[in-house]
Amino acid sequence: MASLISCPHCGVRPKEEFSIRGDANLIRPAPDAGQDAWYDYVYLRDNPKGRHSEYWHHSSGCRRWLIVERDTVTHKVHGVRDAALAKLGGEPA
């Protein structure tokens, strides 16, 4: 059986409809930050083990950006929320 993701807009959908787009915990440096800060932001990434928040794009559905909390060991999804609402303060980030 395929893994399922509960999209807040479309309901339960197969994970193949989504694209994982990266770490949702990264903080973009200020535009005038030094070269080292930008290098770290662009090229250096942690490879966490356990629960982790990631940006996912529902590319074959509503095309919304979501924040998915997923365990990187078991791949179990613990929560899904709309990324736009989380950034606007509509729900916790």
Distance in angstroms (rounded) separating the CA atoms of residues 58 and 34? 34
Beta bridge partners of 57: 19, 65
Residues 1-25+51-93: name the CATH superfamily.
Folate-binding superfamily (3.30.2270.10)
- Radius of gyration, CA atoms only, the chain: 15
For the chain, the structural domain boundaries read: 1-25+51-93
The model carries a pTM of 0.81
Distance in angstroms (rounded) separating the CA atoms of residues 93 and 26? 12
Tens digits of residue pLDDT in 32-53: 999 999 999 999 988 889 999 9
**Per-residue model confidence (pLDDT) at position 11:** 96
Distance in angstroms (rounded) separating the CA atoms of residues 36 and 44? 11
Tens digits of residue pLDDT in 48-75: 899 999 999 999 999 999 999 999 999 8
